[in-house]
Amino acid sequence: MAAIFTPTNQKRLTNVAIVRLKKTGKRFEIACYPNKVTPWRNKIETDIDEVLQTHTVFMNVSKGQVAKSEDLKKAFNTDVTTDVCLQILAKGELQVSEKERHANLESMFRDIATIVADKCVNPETNRPYTVTLIERAMKDCHVSVKPTKSTKQQALEVIRQLTDSETIDLKRAQMRLRISTPANQAKKVREKIKKIASKVEEDAFEETEFMMVFLVDPGCFREVEDLIRSSTKGKGEIEVISLKDVVDSEESLE
């Protein structure tokens, strides 16, 4: 029986995540492990061998067609396959199936809802909502996930969208801060803080020092920090007492 030879420029792989990049009129692909490309791009995964199934550049991963050395040199100015793989990994388009894309979007949707639930409360009770209720409100507001944006960035956009809607009564959980300044700076600092703070809880002098404890929207923290630095010429202090002011309860609101 005649032997069957596999062409030397073919290398078949299965269960792969393909990253594709087109250059100089040709298509170049690399074979990666599933769910490893995004962690690499987000600098969570740092071991390239945990990302690449093989340090090989393909013309077509599915057919096992390996790219020619002269094509690599023309497109990437090098035929060192690991270097080319890194370029494709950084700039290429991750190819995913419709089922996989849907699963990724669902996962991102829940991650966004989780961030929103963690950062926000019901303004009437000051208690947090459950992730399920936030997801329901997001669906009612027709929130769509953008796979190219981070979940944190999208969560901040969703908070603004939900706050402006009538779907759910929502507000950012407030930070509790304590500031202290020299007494001779108190009047100027106090008036400015009162304009920024949502609630002042303590406002007192202690010998030569002035102290305030207040609640403020997390988005105003940098403004408070800059105010204390500039008004006291570095002699004031700011302390975060709690990242979010919420009423303790065993269950979140449904």
Tens of pLDDT, residues 125-182 = 888 999 999 999 999 999 999 887 889 999 999 999 998 888 899 988 888 999 998 8
In whole numbers, what is the pLDDT of the chain averaged over residues?
86
Reply yes or no on whether the pLDDT at 31 is more than 90.
yes
Q: Helices marked H in 142-220 — which ranges?
A: 151-164, 186-196
Query: Within a 10 A sphere around the Cβ of 87, how many other Cβ atoms?
Result: 18
Residue 6, pLDDT above cutoff 60: no
Q: What pLDDT does residue 244 have?
A: 74
Please compute the mean of the pLDDT values over residues 183-198 and round it to a whole number. Answer: 87
Question: ∠137-142-145 over CA atoms, to 5°?
Answer: 100
Exposed (0-12), middle (13-18) or buried (19+): which is 245, by Cβ within 10 Å? middle
State the average pLDDT over residues 207-231. 88
Q: Check residue 250 and give its pLDDT.
A: 45
Using pLDDT thresholds of 50, 70 and 90, give the confidence band for residue 78. very high
Whether the per-residue pLDDT at 1 is higher than 60: the answer is no
Distance between CA atoms of residues 233 and 222, nearest Å: 16
Question: Residue range 22-40: average pLDDT?
Answer: 92
CB 211 within 8 A of CB 159: no
Grouping H, G, I as helix, E, B as strand and the rest as coil, residue 98 is helix
232 — pLDDT class (breaks 50, 70, 90): confident
Higher-confidence position of 3 and 197: 197
Whether 2 has a pLDDT exceeding 90, the answer reads: no
Region 31-51 average pLDDT:
91
Separation in Å, CA 73 to CA 76, 78, 93, 152: 5, 4, 21, 39
Percent of the chain with pLDDT over 70: 91
* Percent above pLDDT 90 for the chain: 48
Q: Regarding predicted confidence, which is higher, 14 or 226?
A: 226
pLDDT band per the 50, 70, 90 thresholds, residue 11? low
Mean pLDDT computed over 74-79 = 95
Q: What is the pLDDT of residue 14?
A: 56
Taking residues 58-63, report their average pLDDT: 93
Band of residue 248 on the pLDDT scale cut at 50, 70, 90 = low
pLDDT of residue 10: 53
Tell me the torsion sign for CA atoms 201, 163, 133, 42. negative
Q: Which residue has the higher pLDDT, 254 or 189?
A: 189
Place of tokens 């032997």: 3
Judge whether 193 and 200 are in contact, CB under 8 Å. Answer: yes
According to the model, what pLDDT value does residue 101 have? Answer: 79
Q: Which domains are delineated in the chain?
A: 17-95 (3.30.1250.10), 98-172 (1.10.10.900), 175-242 (3.30.70.240)
